[in-house]
Homo-oligomer: A and B are copies of this chain.
Amino acid sequence: MGIVHPADLEEPKSCVNMPGTKEIIEDRSSYRLIKPRDKCGVAGVYSRSEQDVSPYLFYSLLSLQHRGQESCGITTYDGSFHTEKGMGLVTEFFDLKTLESLKGYVGIGHVRYSTTGESRIENAQPFVVRHSMGTLAICHNGNIVNSMELRRKLEKAGQAFISTSDTEVIAHLIIREYVKSEDIVYSITEVMKKLVGSYSLVILTDDNLIAVRDPLGIRPLSLGKNDDLIMISSESVSFDVLGARILRDIKPGEIALIDGEEIKSIRAFKRSRKAYCMFEYVYFSRPDSILNGIPIYDVREKIGRILAEEDDIDADFVSPIPDSAIPFALGYSNASGIPYRESLIRNRYVGRTFILPHQQARELAVRLKLNPMASEIEGKNIIIFDDSIVRGTTSKRIISLLREAGAKEVHMRVGCPPIKSLCKLGIDMPTDRELIASGRDVEAIRKIIGADSLKYLSIEGLTEAIGLRENDLCMGCLTAKYPVEIQKFEQVLLPSFVDRELSNNNR
Contact = CB atoms under 8 A, between A and B. Distances in A.
A332 to B, nearest CB: 13
B298 A363 contact: no
Contacts of A358: 55
Contact of A95 (B95, B162, B354, B368): B354
Interface residues of A, number: 89
A129 B371 contact: no
A377 to B, nearest CB: 11
A237 interface: yes
A179 interface: yes
A214 B401 CA distance: 35
Given A241-B371, A295-B375, A158 B133 contact: no
A373 B297 contact: yes
Contact of A132 (B30, B164, B180, B286): B30
A360 interface: yes
Nearest to A298: B375
Nearest to A353: B91
Nearest to A376: B297
Contact of A341 (B90, B129, B241, B330): B330
A295 to B, nearest CB: 4
A159 B131 contact: yes
A50 interface: no
A199 interface: no
A348 interface: yes
B91 A241 contact: no
A118 interface: no
Interface string A320-357: 00010011001000100001111001011111111010
Interface stretch (A58-66, A254-262, A415-423, A495-503): A58-66
Contact of A287 (B240, B242, B345): B345
Nearest to A237: B371
A229 to B, nearest CB: 12
Given A132-B155, A160-B130, A162-B162, A62 B364 contact: no
Given A99-B356, A132-B30, A373-B287, A180 B158 contact: yes
A340 B340 contact: yes
Interface string A163-185: 01000000110011001100000
Contacts of A62: 347, 349-350, 353, 368
A345 B289 CA distance: 10
Nearest to A286: B345
A158 B175 contact: yes
A326 B342 contact: yes
Nearest to A64: B349
Contact of A356 (B55, B237, B288): B55
Contact of A354 (B96, B164, B372): B96
A193 interface: no
Nearest to A3: B96
A213 B444 CA distance: 53
Given A91-B351, A121-B121, A237-B371, 5 more contacts: A162-B162, A241-B364, A241-B367, A243-B364, A286-B345
14 contacts: A31-B134, A31-B135, A91-B352, A91-B353, A95-B354, A121-B121, A129-B160, A160-B172, A240-B367, A240-B371, A288-B345, A288-B371, A295-B375, A297-B373
